[in-house]
Structure 1
Amino acid sequence: MSRWFRWAIAGGDRFLMAISLAGCKEIFVSKWHLRLGMVAVGAIFVGSLPQPDSAEIAQAEEPPRKRNWQNVTTTELPRIKDLKRSAKTLKDWLAQMQEPAVEAPIQVTGVQLNRTEFGLEIGLETEAGKPLQIDATKFRVEGNSLVADIPNAVLALPNVQEFNADKPTGEIANVRVRQMDATRIRVTVTGNHALPTEEVSLKTGELTYSLNPEGEVPEEELVVTGTGQRGYFIPDATTATRTDTPLRDIPQSIQVVPRQVIEDQKILRISDAVRNVSGVTPQGGYSGLTDNYNIRGFTTYDNLRDGYYAQDNLVNPTNIERIEVLKGPASVLYGQFEPGGVVNYVTKKPLSEPYYFAEFTAGSFSTYRPSIDLSGPLNTDKTLLYRLNAAYESSGSFIDFVDQKQFSIAPSLTYKIGDATSLTLQYEYLNADRTYYDGLPPDPSVFKAPISRFLGEPGDRFKFESHTIFLALNHRFNENLRLRSAFTTELRDTEEPGEFRPNSIAADGRTVLRRYAAGPGYYRNDALQNDLISNFNTGAIQHQLLLGLEWNQYTYGYDYLRSSVDLTPSIDLFNPVYGASPPPIFDEASQRDRFHRTTIGLYAQDQITLLPNLKLLVGGRYDFIHRKNRSQPLDASGNDPIGDATEERLYNGAFSPRVGIVYQPIPPISLYASYSRSFNPSGSRTVDGSLLPPERGTQYEVGIRGETLNGKLSATLSAYEIIKANVATVDTNNTDFSIAAGEVKSRGIEFDVVGEILPGWNVIASAFVNDAFVSRDNSLPVGDRLVNAPSQGASLWTTYEIQRGSLKGLGFGAGVFFVGDREAELPNTFEIPSYVRADSAVYYKRDRWKVGLNFKNLTSTQYYESQGYYLRPGAPFSVLGTVSVNF
């Protein structure tokens, strides 16, 4: 039946030709309109046909014009004996059902590079000269590369799996043609450190398309970073699906903070970059050295690093290429995470072209920070690549007695074993030594004290050291099947000789009760993940199937040594006198705790293209979890074990599903809806020593995502509801323990926009409203808001760089960040006020040099962030000056 249908359409096209030849110019019947009618009739017999491509729609909307019929070729109509007979057996009928309702992908059998008078022409040869479906409106610029995606096509090159040509011209470093998925190939033309200014064209059959962007191209060289992408809008992400997927095809809210934003805002603390994303509020971690986030009302203490589990850890911004924030449950691919979302730090990777970058930043509070980023090939055939990122920072603080020194170095190697196999090895070392400072206790009295107030002792220190090793193997068996296997290990040690911690403020409103804490800690996390990715078709339906197996082993231990407020000297909030001596003993249940967790996860995911504009995502994961916890009492000195150790073993298993659908009524618009669940065994303890029960979350989300036709600006509007049981929150009677808040809900609407408005004018902005509250509980008031979950927030950051004239290279940036009021504790007894902070920047680029000034908190707004239980004041007006060079 499908062949009859295509024959009818072909006949309709020839009927239009006959009308035009007859000179009936006053009758306008487009090919697209006729096909629509045929589809409506044919749907009764054979179902729906594929949607027309954008070129056909554009042709339909054009007014009638005179056609040149000299180059038109006619095709002989099929004879009756050649037509497919009706099915007479079940076997024949099933065979016909498996026939694709769309045309089979066209084979590209050859790629030719031809020098022209004005530049370079890339010729694509196809089987039997069949025309390719090319939509020039989808051509785009990524960093110093020109990119063209061609749908419904497969590479069938003799003897090779992809086409790769180095240095075809003086301006062009590389031309690459590769298979992206089962029916899509990509042409990438990469310039030597900058976009090619010569004409680059793509020719298929008798048609030629220009790959160069419209308008004037900046003449200055563009910095090539880890993915080769520059600018504010990144079209693809990997966090949501573990595959390189266009954002417009993902049925879940995901936002990307690119490297360019990190550079423009001069981010020294990686959590500051995530302020640009709706529904995300940074929440300081232990001693200010780790980064946690509140996402959609839920605080997550674990993050991802290149798609692999990484507990809250110090992150060096110099080694980060971009940040991907997946909002909503991520358990279907990553296992144990909060239902609000997860932050994935994507690190820089080795480059195939030499790249050398050095930067020095200095500013307020005695801040000094040199850094380098070096990359390139180590051999002539570019099969061995390297990258080295390193940074050192020494800084004081607006808070009395607080200072820090930290150093990080991250070398990496990529070895291209062959055309289909690569091996990547990464290592990162981090070392930090700083004053121990968590913040101020949540009490109205602290707002009357200066933000510089330090309530510990000047000698309180905290030391941190970590080693991270990552080894990844990628192998492509053929254009439709590939394997990705990676192993990562993370080792971390902390040292706490002893510090005075503010606990609460007495009834007089000025006496700060303190406790004394000490004890070393260590952490180790090992993970092995194997992903098998296959592209195939079942009839007209395209699939990208992901099958995965993950093994993870997590070990964490520390000596819990505490002295009570009765033994620890207090301090005056408004007239502090320092110099207190540590208490003689640890009188609060001193013990040595060890936690061990082993997880095995099996997961599957299928990205299904039902129609070119209708996509389905289904997936599920099952986790097997074994936990072993051991606790050994210590004597009052904190050195010697006493009594018997207690040990408990816990076994958990859970299934986490996800299903989502994306409908694109027109190419730039995506409508989506999704359902997903999360699972997270609780690691928190109540004051009596028992573990909280596992947490389960369920999310419903709908949204709309739109992109401009030039692919440089994107906007997302989403609405969601999350239901979660057994949320762990701080026990205000004893801040070292937690309580379960029963069932909670989070509902909200979010809006994000990012990209380039005009050449040189970039923007990243967000806004959200959120209602996260206790919906059922036996002890907490129903309706109380969750801790550190603002009811609204917004951000706007925009930059403009002059593109031509004598001031070319001069740029300006400005932004505002608004965070609504938040509750500091459960039950709700203390509210953290809302605030608005304004920043700005000015910079100048000339050749390979760049100088800039960043001004933060222009009005010295007094505001406070949350660090779990404590309040941490934000920095007043500060300035950072930067000089950088790349060569």
Structure 2
Amino acid sequence: MTKRLSLTKMTPAPLALAVALALANVPLAARAQGAPQPISIAAQPLAEALNDWARQTRIQLVVQQSLVAGKTAPAISGSLTARQALDRLLAGSGLAATMEGNAAVIKAAPASGGTSTLPAVTVVADGEESATGRVQGYVAKRSATGTKTDTPIIETPQSISVITADRIEAIGATNLKDALGYTPGVSTTTYGADSRYDWISLRGFDAYSPGFYLDGLPLRNNSTWGVWRTENYGAERIELLRGPSSVLYGMSGPGGVVNVVSKRPTAEPVRELQLQLGDHNRKQVAGDFSGALDADGKVLYRITGLVRDAQLPAAKEGDDRMYIAPSLTWKPSGDTTLTLLSQFSRTRGGVYTRARPQVGSLDATPIGTYIPSKLFVGEPGFDRFDQDQEMVGYQFEHRINDTFTVRQNARYAHQKLDYKGTQLTGFMALNPDVPNDALNFQQMSRSVFGSRENIGALALDNQLQADFRLGQTQHKVLVGLDYQRTRIDQVTFSGGSASPLNIYAPRYGGPIELPEPYFNGVTRLAQTGVYLQDQIKWGDRWTLTLGGRYDTADSTVDSRIDGSRQRMRDHKFTSRAGLVYLHPSGWAPYLSYSESFAPTATIDPVSGDPFKPESGKQVEAGVRYQPTDSKAMYSAAIFDLRRKNYISYDGEFMPKQTGEISVRGLELEATAEIASRLNLTASYSYTPRAIVTASSNTSEIGKQATAVPRHRLSVWADYRFAMGLKVGLGARYTGSNYGDGEAAWPSKVPASTVFDAMLGYDIDRWSLALNLRNLTNKTYFANCGYRNCYYGYPRTATATATYRW
């Protein structure tokens, strides 16, 4: 039964809701009847027109979705007050607007001489965006990833991309790497199709080690198999900060930071159920619910979750997952907020990869044959990837006065992994006396590898922010102390053997010989960092960001194999400086310098000693354009990035350390909502240099170091028709390159173009969508390196039905 609220006598509950949704202390009626302003809204469905009105006037809008369903609004343009524009949009619709508290409330126009009631309200649009809240559409304007403060993106002197929940849903991205596929400077195909991990590289360097970030806190990985995973359905947005970022985050890679922002409790009700069906027997049920637990809106809740029953594309191995994320927000006053965040996930499945030796995949065998691309090279019943994750944490903020604000963010995470896999190692010469005998290219040897890991990780970040004016400058100073500690108990092996596989008539179930572990022990990592940042503004034109940080990092490795203990202690000062010029027209050129630092406890399998810490530094110059009369963001950046003591992995998944790698490039990005119905995102990366500049192996110097193509291009566009139909089409182009390690890899990986598509329909409270990734089912190489090649994903189809009320 729907609760109805009388307009003639509103109860305290809706009054509390109106207060909670207020944008400012300025009375709404005064703002609505204030000075005229330029307003331009196209003819379109009424719901979308009201969204545009809220964004342009920065006034909170409240309305029940069913009231505006099926209605259209005329085009309006000119110098109008907010109230004048709203009245014109509602003309002839049978709806009227009233100013209640600090919100504009849309209701059915009252009958003559009678009273009317207002149905329970639902927020259609927010007049103001926050750095962690939901973004309507694809274009975000604020972020905290680049500064740890709520800052306009256009004022941040470093390259940032934000992938919103609406964009994730539109492109049908079911995992983190798919969500980033239309972003510049990003590679999501390091090891091709892979059911285990989100292999993501930024500007040529991996982002999965030292690890991703969740809500600004690290999910630390130490180059083990226990890589933390996030859930797209539980994400409000995914943010990329490209380039070294140790000033804010301590140990991190030079390519940048991937930060997933969780869905948080909201005052406005969220009620959503979703059913998803797909190929490979994919069946998934998901739900997202949020709202207030009390009449005053001081206690808010949210619970997001899903259950999936599916199979992998080969051998009918499982791909099952359970995820639930309860959260709670308490606001005892307008100055204090405490949010409890948690999530629990369980993954049970096999292993799906498409790795093949170079000979027989990219290059033909001496007799001109190839290994079938669809061949399942694993071992049913042996291969497994079982992963459990639990995370519990909180975010606390208290505003002491107009100057000082304190924050503390904390999380404890635990992961348990049981992983075993099989891979091809090469052809078996069944007739060695005749090298080109076809028998020598039918049977392939296989090896096995795996790891059992138990990981516990604690992360804590304390912040004091001071906002004050000093002479002609406005300062936002951030002082921070963070601490993180990770314990990894692992037993890892590589080598051994599985029964040989006939590539034309495969038989499974043969004997498997497990090798002795090459590592059996406990690794402990701890880092303490102190940082200082000052965001300085001169008037409305100049923004200078300065930052410095000092880190100490300790690691201990205890081996159960020989009883040894290795201890390492590193320390490093890192810095960042950036200058932005803000032109009134929306242009913002910037220049920045930044550094990174990442100690590691990874062991050199040859010497048995830990690898050296790695470091990075970058100079970046760019420009952004944010039009004042439309919802769009355009950016361009050039950069010179260097990484020292880089750890990579060979074809046997064994680590090695390289001297220095240099990457230079250009990145372009455009995200825009055109005429409110057309959404567009496009990116281009030009990387003419990604080479080894220093190495103990002189044959590597001057050669391509990482799988970075000279050209990478992506475009996605979707259009929503007035009758509810929506269509989308995307293309992702990757240019040819030498893969990982040109010195050991003389052949080029061919260029490829992959298409994605979406067809959907919105009707009443239902949203229906069919997403196809790799629309043409193209067989292509995602990457090659160290005499192995990796095929990309085949076509996948997913049908989604979402019901919101």
Return the TM-score normalized by structure 1: 0.74
Shift in Å, 1:876:
2.8
Which amino acid in structure 2 is aligned with residue 531 of structure 1?
Answer: Q
**Paired residue for 1:330, among 225, 239, 245?**
245
Matches for 1:867-886 after TM superposition, within 5 Å = 871-886=789-804
More displaced 10-residue stretch of structure 1: 656-665 or 783-792: 783-792
CA gap 1:544/1:647 in 2 versus in 1, 3 angstroms: same
Is 1:645 the counterpart of 2:516? The answer is no
Matches for 1:505-520 after TM superposition, within 5 Å = 505=427, 508-520=440-452
Where does residue 480 of structure 2 map in the other structure?
548
Where does residue 767 of structure 2 map in the other structure?
850
Is 1:299 the counterpart of 2:203? The answer is no
Shift in Å, 1:372:
0.5
> Gaps (5+ residues) in structure 1?
1-107, 115-119, 125-131, 150-186, 199-206, 634-643
Question: What is the CA–CA distance in structure 2 between the aligned matches of 1:135 and 1:329, rounded to whole Å?
Answer: 41
**Paired residue for 2:407, among 484, 500, 508?**
484
Secondary structure of 1:446's aligned partner: coil
CA gap 1:371/1:868 in 2 versus in 1, 3 angstroms: farther
CA gap 1:694/1:597 in 2 versus in 1, 3 angstroms: same
- CA radius of gyration, larger in: 1
Aligned partners of 2:740 and 2:784 also within 8 Å: no
Secondary structure of 1:564's aligned partner: strand
Is 1:470 the counterpart of 2:393? The answer is yes
Aligned partners of 1:761 and 1:801 also within 8 Å: yes
Where does residue 579 of structure 1 map in the other structure?
509
Shift in Å, 1:866:
4.6
Question: What is the CA–CA distance in structure 2 between the aligned matches of 1:356 and 1:595, rounded to whole Å?
Answer: 43
Shift in Å, 1:387:
0.6
**Paired residue for 1:258, among 152, 164, 186?**
164
Tell me which of the two structures has the higher relative contact order, counting C-alpha pairs closer than 8 angstroms and 6 or more residues apart: 2
Aligned partners of 1:145 and 1:191 also within 8 Å: no
Where does residue 24 of structure 1 map in the other structure?
none
Is 1:308 the counterpart of 2:223? The answer is no
Which amino acid in structure 1 is aligned with residue 666 of structure 2?
Answer: I
Where does residue 426 of structure 1 map in the other structure?
341
Question: What is the CA–CA distance in structure 2 between the aligned matches of 1:141 and 1:665, rounded to whole Å?
Answer: 29
Question: What is the CA–CA distance in structure 2 between the aligned matches of 1:215 and 1:515, rounded to whole Å?
Answer: 71
Is 1:666 the counterpart of 2:584? The answer is yes
Aligned partners of 1:526 and 1:552 also within 8 Å: yes
Aligned partners of 2:61 and 2:123 also within 8 Å: no
**Paired residue for 1:819, among 727, 731, 734?**
734
CA gap 1:382/1:295 in 2 versus in 1, 3 angstroms: same
Aligned partners of 2:62 and 2:125 also within 8 Å: no
Is 1:495 the counterpart of 2:423? The answer is no
Which amino acid in structure 2 is aligned with residue 729 of structure 1?
Answer: S
CA gap 1:427/1:871 in 2 versus in 1, 3 angstroms: farther
Aligned partners of 2:488 and 2:522 also within 8 Å: yes
Is 1:790 the counterpart of 2:721? The answer is no
Q: What's the CA shift string for 1:692-723, capped at 9, x where partnerless?
A: 21111110100110012224011101100101
Where does residue 54 of structure 2 map in the other structure?
146
Is 1:191 the counterpart of 2:62? The answer is yes
Aligned partners of 2:33 and 2:83 also within 8 Å: no
Question: What is the CA–CA distance in structure 1 between the aligned matches of 2:744 and 2:475, rounded to whole Å?
Answer: 49
Q: What's the CA shift string for 1:596-624, capped at 9, x where partnerless?
A: 01100101111110231111111011111
Aligned partners of 2:338 and 2:394 also within 8 Å: yes
Matches for 1:283-432 after TM superposition, within 5 Å = 283=189, 288-301=195-208, 302-311=211-220, 312-432=227-347
Aligned partners of 2:756 and 2:775 also within 8 Å: yes
Root mean square deviation, CA, Å: 3.1
Where does residue 650 of structure 2 map in the other structure?
731
Question: What is the CA–CA distance in structure 1 between the aligned matches of 2:417 and 2:67, rounded to whole Å?
Answer: 50
Shift in Å, 1:590:
4.3
CA gap 1:799/1:736 in 2 versus in 1, 3 angstroms: closer
CA gap 1:404/1:824 in 2 versus in 1, 3 angstroms: same
Question: What is the CA–CA distance in structure 1 between the aligned matches of 2:242 and 2:137, rounded to whole Å?
Answer: 22
Question: What is the CA–CA distance in structure 2 between the aligned matches of 1:371 and 1:405, rounded to whole Å?
Answer: 14
Aligned partners of 2:201 and 2:207 also within 8 Å: yes
Aligned residues: 701
Aligned partners of 1:146 and 1:195 also within 8 Å: no
Aligned partners of 1:707 and 1:715 also within 8 Å: yes
Where does residue 248 of structure 1 map in the other structure?
154
Which amino acid in structure 1 is aligned with residue 569 of structure 2?
Answer: Y
Shift in Å, 1:481:
1.7
Question: What is the CA–CA distance in structure 2 between the aligned matches of 1:282 and 1:526, rounded to whole Å?
Answer: 28
Shift in Å, 1:375:
0.6
Question: What is the CA–CA distance in structure 2 between the aligned matches of 1:313 and 1:793, rounded to whole Å?
Answer: 27
Question: What is the CA–CA distance in structure 2 between the aligned matches of 1:574 and 1:846, rounded to whole Å?
Answer: 49
CA gap 1:558/1:145 in 2 versus in 1, 3 angstroms: farther
Where does residue 227 of structure 1 map in the other structure?
133
Is 1:631 the counterpart of 2:538? The answer is no
Matches for 1:640-719 after TM superposition, within 5 Å = 644-688=562-606, 689-719=608-638
Which amino acid in structure 2 is aligned with residue 309 of structure 1?
Answer: P
Which amino acid in structure 2 is aligned with residue 522 of structure 1?
Answer: N
Question: What is the CA–CA distance in structure 2 between the aligned matches of 1:580 and 1:519, rounded to whole Å?
Answer: 21
> Gaps (5+ residues) in structure 2?
1-22, 42-47, 72-79, 96-105, 107-121, 127-131, 221-226, 363-369, 430-439
Secondary structure of 1:262's aligned partner: helix
Which amino acid in structure 1 is aligned with residue 144 of structure 2?
Answer: T
Where does residue 833 of structure 1 map in the other structure?
750
Shift in Å, 1:209:
5.3
Aligned partners of 1:289 and 1:314 also within 8 Å: no
Question: What is the CA–CA distance in structure 1 between the aligned matches of 2:586 and 2:67, rounded to whole Å?
Answer: 27
Is 1:527 the counterpart of 2:459? The answer is yes
Aligned partners of 1:257 and 1:276 also within 8 Å: no
Question: What is the CA–CA distance in structure 1 between the aligned matches of 2:84 and 2:485, rounded to whole Å?
Answer: 48
Question: What is the CA–CA distance in structure 2 between the aligned matches of 1:411 and 1:110, rounded to whole Å?
Answer: 32
Which amino acid in structure 1 is aligned with residue 770 of structure 2?
Answer: L
Which amino acid in structure 2 is aligned with residue 238 of structure 1?
Answer: A
Question: What is the CA–CA distance in structure 2 between the aligned matches of 1:138 and 1:339, rounded to whole Å?
Answer: 43
Is 1:761 the counterpart of 2:667? The answer is no
Where does residue 373 of structure 2 map in the other structure?
451
Aligned partners of 1:609 and 1:615 also within 8 Å: yes
Shift in Å, 1:861:
1.0
Shift in Å, 1:222:
7.7
Which amino acid in structure 1 is aligned with residue 716 of structure 2?
Answer: W
Return the TM-score normalized by structure 2: 0.81
Shift in Å, 1:195:
12
Question: What is the CA–CA distance in structure 2 between the aligned matches of 1:229 and 1:237, rounded to whole Å?
Answer: 11
Where does residue 80 of structure 1 map in the other structure?
none
Question: What is the CA–CA distance in structure 2 between the aligned matches of 1:683 and 1:511, rounded to whole Å?
Answer: 39
Aligned partners of 1:672 and 1:702 also within 8 Å: yes
Which amino acid in structure 1 is aligned with residue 461 of structure 2?
Answer: Q
Secondary structure of 1:823's aligned partner: coil
Question: What is the CA–CA distance in structure 2 between the aligned matches of 1:561 and 1:671, rounded to whole Å?
Answer: 50
Matches for 1:67-86 after TM superposition, within 5 Å = none
Q: What's the CA shift string for 1:736-756, capped at 9, x where partnerless?
A: 422222111000000000020
Aligned partners of 1:745 and 1:772 also within 8 Å: yes
Question: What is the CA–CA distance in structure 2 between the aligned matches of 1:358 and 1:610, rounded to whole Å?
Answer: 48
Shift in Å, 1:540:
0.9
Question: What is the CA–CA distance in structure 2 between the aligned matches of 1:380 and 1:109, rounded to whole Å?
Answer: 21
Aligned partners of 2:37 and 2:81 also within 8 Å: no
CA gap 1:138/1:772 in 2 versus in 1, 3 angstroms: farther
Aligned partners of 1:112 and 1:123 also within 8 Å: no
Question: What is the CA–CA distance in structure 2 between the aligned matches of 1:816 and 1:622, rounded to whole Å?
Answer: 43
Question: What is the CA–CA distance in structure 2 between the aligned matches of 1:849 and 1:351, rounded to whole Å?
Answer: 22
Which amino acid in structure 2 is aligned with residue 775 of structure 1?
Answer: T
Where does residue 44 of structure 2 map in the other structure?
none
Which amino acid in structure 2 is aligned with residue 437 of structure 1?
Answer: Y
More displaced 10-residue stretch of structure 1: 409-418 or 784-793: 784-793
Aligned partners of 1:233 and 1:755 also within 8 Å: yes
Shift in Å, 1:489:
0.9
Question: What is the CA–CA distance in structure 1 between the aligned matches of 2:24 and 2:244, rounded to whole Å?
Answer: 43
Which amino acid in structure 2 is aligned with residue 472 of structure 1?
Answer: Q
Shift in Å, 1:865:
3.0
